[in-house]
Amino acid sequence: MKLIAESGGTKTQWCAVSVETESEIISTAGLNPNFVSEDDFRRILSSEVLPALNYPAISEVWFYGAGCAGKAMEDKVRNAIRKVLPDSDINVNSDLTGAARGLLGNKKGYICMIGTGSNSGYYDGKTITANVPPLGFILGDEGSGAYLGKRLLADHLRGIMPSGLSEEFRKKYGAEKDDIVSHVYRGVFPSRFIGEFVKFLKENISEPYCSELVKSSFEEYVRRNLMLYDIKEETDIAVTGSVAWHFRDILEEVLRMHGFRITLIEKGPVEGLIRYHRMVEGLKG
């Protein structure tokens, strides 16, 4: 069987598949190798994933993950998996490649990811051939949960957020400046912490402040990412990620204003990845 994993900034989804069958999809913590040690990676795979899947016989592992775009991080993930599944063929790819294969399959098109982080690229039906660097939540990740949360927190702390919303925010989260700064600058997973505040935007999206914040963040995503590609009319643009999904009406409006058309939007790519790998296995047979 193949073990497929799709890992974002917040969670990792796993499934064991073959041509004939597939396991249930299980979730663990996000496994970005920039923030997670090999020991923690091995522990989650050996003590959480494999027992939950009833220890299937795994011949191949396909891991698609945030933070897996460079050789050093690919090797870190590969080494961690190899120590748990030494006889398996291990493949490590970026989460962007996973999103493209999950949503576009073997079709050409642009892929957009807007979740805890954000990314984009052109997919030629096999691999990503063009990519505007996302740069992470400090330098980039426009439109993402971390980007929205960063704006939301700063507006609250600086008194920019409308007073009624700010008071509601304080009651819900406590949200004292020293605590927030400590989490952001000294915490283990700062982007994950910041991204959690997107729930407040979703709950209050009917408020003009909240809807405008989401809209302006998506406009930044388009301006600083999509508009840097030479996108032709009628080219497929597929979108995935929790933030894109929850605010899809606003996202579609923003893209339409800039002349882009979304042909597919999914909350996550893992089910599409299952179909993709079962199709590939079927073609082998």
Please state, in angstroms and rounded to a whole number, the distance separating the CA atoms of residues 208 and 155: 14
pTM for the whole structure: 0.87
Residue with tokens 């493949």: 91
Q: Can you give the pLDDT at residue 234?
A: 66
Domain that holds residue 276: 2-103+269-284
The answer to the question of residue 8 being in a domain is yes
Alpha-carbon span 279 to 285, nearest angstrom: 10
Q: What is the DSSP letter of 135?
A: -
Q: Decide if 88 is inside a domain.
A: yes
Apex 255 CA angle, 253 and 258, nearest 5: 110
Domain membership flag for residue 217: no
Q: What is the pLDDT of residue 283?
A: 44
Question: Is 171 inside any structural domain?
Answer: no
pLDDT for the residue 282: 54
* 176 within some domain: no
In a domain, 224, yes or no: no
Whether 26 maps to a domain, the answer reads: yes
- Length of the chain in terms of residues written: 285
Q: Are 98 and 240 in contact (CB under 8 A)?
A: no
Residues 6+ apart with CB under 8 A from 75: none
What total number of domains does the chain contain?
Answer: 1
- The helix/strand/coil state of 109 is strand
CB contact at 8 A, 121 and 226: no
Q: Is residue 27 part of a domain?
A: yes
For the chain, residues with pLDDT lower than 70 are 233-234, 281-285
CATH of residue 52's domain is 3.30.420.40
